[in-house]
Amino acid sequence: MVYIEKYNQWLSNEYFDEETKNELKSLTDEKEIEDRFYTNLKFGTAGLRGKIGAGTNRMNKYTVSLATQGLAQTIVNKGKEAMDRGVAIAYDVRKYSKEFAEISARVLAANGIKAYLFDDLRSTPLLSYTVRKLGCISGVVVTASHNPKDYNGYKVYWEEGSQILDNIADEILNEISEINSFSEVKLMDKDTAINNDLIKVIGQEIDDEYNSELLKMAINEDIDKEINVVYSPLNGTGNIPVRRILKDRGFTKVTVVPEQEKPDSNFTTVGYPNPEDPKAFAYAEKFGNEIGAELLIATDPDCDRVAIEVKNGNGYTFINGNQTGALIVNYVLSSRNLKNNLPKNPAIVKSIVTGDLGKAIANKYGVKTFDTLTGFKNICALPNKWDITKEYEFILGYEESIGYLYGSLVRDKDAVVTSMIIAEMAAYYKKQGKNLLAVLEEIYEEYGYYSEKLISIVLEGVEGQQKIKRIMEDIRHNPIENVGGLHLVKTIDYLNDQTDAGKSDVLKYYLNDGSWYAIRPSGTEPKIKLYVYSIGETKVKSFEKIDLIENTVRRRMEKVE
């Protein structure tokens, strides 16, 4: 019962403050104590993410400072020049985000590394831009993205402006492992750090430059700028930058959902602030109906992901991540092809669990498609490489989980530039008498009816994690050979097979009609995810295949004890 020993250490150690100890003393459920202390909050390529609270397996000022000390030592190891380049730090609306950001800056300062700390809430893509703009060696954004209100997180970026890959994550993890106790973490007083020019507070000047650069990425001007748009930041960081870019782009009828305009760390109006879930659009739909909105746009709390709904008769139709990605690919490539300004060796990048409709569209325009492991750290690794090799020119990247990036201004998914492109796209087709649903139907008619479904099965705690592992191993060693009248023709085990995409615990199964499904544990949430894709001659046939594959695979997963 090592977790009890750790629990008692936190209660008896003078290093931990009384507020922390009182929180721990109030715990009466031993399962809760075990979950807080059975392991250390894992630092990986996504940084840290977990529930807020006291304990080694929670997000708190101690675990954040420990991770930052590991980051600091990694930078120190790279020499004085790296230390002088500094680290940019941003934070979102969540509980303790500001405190965690300031603690991170103070730890870096104590290690002789300059920290550029934003003066208030900022979006994740702006952090990526700032790392590139200021030439920082690294960046940190304190956010749990779209997780529920009880979570927070800590994402680390490297000099290219993209999230760290395994090589840097392993260096940081190794440095963290060398720290024997929290008392070894260095910490400088904030005012002292500012007076010694080790913390520099940054503000509006960065926002202005970012906004100005985004405006240059507009594609078409022959659009209907009076398209009626309702926008919701879901009480997150998108409120200011998204509304600003749409206004400066010339859109005259953009209205924010009043109840979801201001920051709210409890996400009172939405609960689970994930626009990938159509339920997050409830307030936007009600408001949109009241004012006759044609397009609804919602961004997640750190404004790196965006989803849309389109007016359809008396209501709204949700457009999922794969469909939105295909629409963006089609709009960008067709428009730039018409203008004859596609580069010589253009490329788009998507994740291995994203559908293939975008690839089919890209093929039409002679644009190469690359598949990577999930996550924009992997998607952006390719344009980072092409910056050096000049082998391809990056046009856009996307993944089914409503993450998109157009252009090379930042190196992470960016809901600000994507909101601008989506609004422009909708306004462009409106000028032609069509909405995005009609355009999507045209795409299906040309390329085939691609359908998709994501099923997320939540399995929390120690037992949940163990069951996820058992499910993965069961299906890995005993794949499903037949799904109704379809049979398995190809398997990719990204953990054990050699692929160009890299190593990850993902299983992908191709069926003889071109349909496929993939299974993977979430890297940031207590879930196992099932991705199902089909292609059919009609929409009905395509959906029937989706249901067949889902039911077959879920029955198998549920049998695992």
Amino acid 46 reads: A
Tokens matching residue 268:
């009172």
User: Residue 543 is encoded by which pair of tokens?
Assistant: 């959906």
Report residue 117 CA to chain centroid gap. Answer: 22
In angstroms, rounded to a whole number, what is the distance separating the alpha carbons of residues 443 and 435? Answer: 13
User: What residue type is 163 in one-letter code?
Assistant: Q
Written as one string, the DSSP assignment of 203-248 is -HHHHHHHHHHHHTT---SSS-TT--EEEE-TTSTTHHHHHHHHHH
What residues act catalytically?
A: 145
| Residue 45: strand, helix, or coil | coil
Say whether 455 sits in a helix, a strand or coil. Answer: strand
DSSP letter at 151? E
User: 232 forms bridges with which residues in the sheet?
Assistant: 298
Q: Which residues pair with 454 in a beta bridge?
A: 531
Q: Does residue 499 sit in helix, strand or coil?
A: coil
User: Could you give the CA distance from residue 363 to residue 214 in angstroms, rounded to a whole number?
Assistant: 27
Rounded distance, CA 335 to CA 283, Å?
A: 33
Cβ neighbour number for residue 526 with a 10 Å cutoff: 16
**Quick check: 382 and 370 in contact, CB under 8 A?**
yes
Look at residues 53, 59, 73, 46 and name the one whose alpha carbon lies nearest to residue 176: 73
Selection from 64, 59, 54, 66 nearest residue 16 by Cα: 54
Closest to 529 measured CA to CA, from 461, 462, 486, 475: 475
Instruction: Give the integer Cα–Cα distance in Å for 377 and 157.
Output: 9
CA distance 553 to 480: 8
**SS3 sequence, 271-316?**
CCCCCCCHHHHHHHHHHHHHHCCCEEEEECCCCCEEEEEEEECCEE
CB atoms inside a 10 Å sphere around CB 56: 20
C-alpha 306 chain-centroid distance: 10
d(CA 428, CA 206): 30
In what side-by-side order are the strands of the sheet with 48-51? 48-51, 151-158, 138-142, 87-91, 115-118, 199-202
Query: Which of these, 330, 412, 372, lies nearest to 506 by C-alpha position?
Result: 372
